[in-house]
Copies of this chain bind each other. A is one copy, B any other.
Amino acid sequence: MPNPTAAMIVIGDEILSGRTRDSNMHHLAGQLTSVGIDLKEVRVVGDEHGTIIAAVQQLAKVYDSVFTSGGIGPTHDDITADCIAAAFNKYIDVRDDARAILAEHYAKSGTELNEARLRMARIPDDATLIDNPVSAAPGFKLENVHVMAGVPAVFEAMVASVLPTLTGGAPLISRTLRIDRGEGDIAGPLGQVARDYPALSIGSYPFQKDGKYGAHIVIRGNDAAAIDAAIGALEKIFL
């Protein structure tokens, strides 16, 4: 059985302008791979209603699950929750369960739960809250879309909250072979090995170090014996 599939939507003008370097994609990719879920596509979009809604609707239809990052804070440019509600035609307003979480959190520090902070309790009908152990304001899951914060520490904590709830597949097995020759010399025999093992994903990632060329050959799949055999075939040719 093929692994479950996933897509991610990174939301934020600051990523597209080059102001901020996204790190959430790399984190989620590694986490999903570790539980046997194949991340198939990532889209980075700006803070625009139409673009976000279209991306959510398209990807939620194609992939088993979707993960979003960004746009759920208290300021005017935080529009993700409203876009998710619109994408699934759900009513959205401040919800009591989310408000209670915020009220308890801010009471501890004597911070006022003002109108802006209450925006973070806007949760669509039928959504399930996602725990935020860092700064309380919850994410949520609606249909197959998991809506999470953009701040990396919060995003990563939310991913940790969500991961045990996901149905993973067979965790991908991965082995890497380093070959200290130029990719142009590796490519011919490597292509033959790739054809011999069509069920494996074989990638070649070239590097240059101290003026010498080489490549890391990464072989991934679910069948450990086939991976070992393919690695053995390459070692016989190149080492």
Question: What residues of chain A have their CB less than 8 Å away from a CB belonging to chain B?
Answer: 12-23, 25-33, 38-47, 51, 73-77, 111-112, 114-117, 119, 151, 172, 174, 182-188, 190-191, 194-195, 201-206, 215, 218, 220
Contacts and interface: CB of A to CB of B under 8 A. Distances in A.
Contacts of A21: 23, 26
A76 B119 contact: no
Given A15-B42, A17-B29, A76-B195, 18 more contacts: A13-B203, A17-B33, A18-B28, A18-B30, A18-B32, A18-B39, A19-B174, A19-B205, A25-B44, A41-B43, A74-B183, A74-B184, A75-B187, A75-B190, A76-B187, A76-B194, A111-B182, A117-B187
A31 B22 CA distance: 16
Contacts of A44: 25, 41-43
Contacts of A206: 73, 151
| Interface residues of A, dominant DSSP | mixed
A46 B17 CA distance: 24
Nearest to A137: B184
Contacts of A182: 111
Contacts of A26: 18, 21-22
A15 B29 contact: yes
Contacts of A190: 75-76
Contact of A114 (B45, B188, B215, B218): B188
Contact of A116 (B20, B116, B184): B184
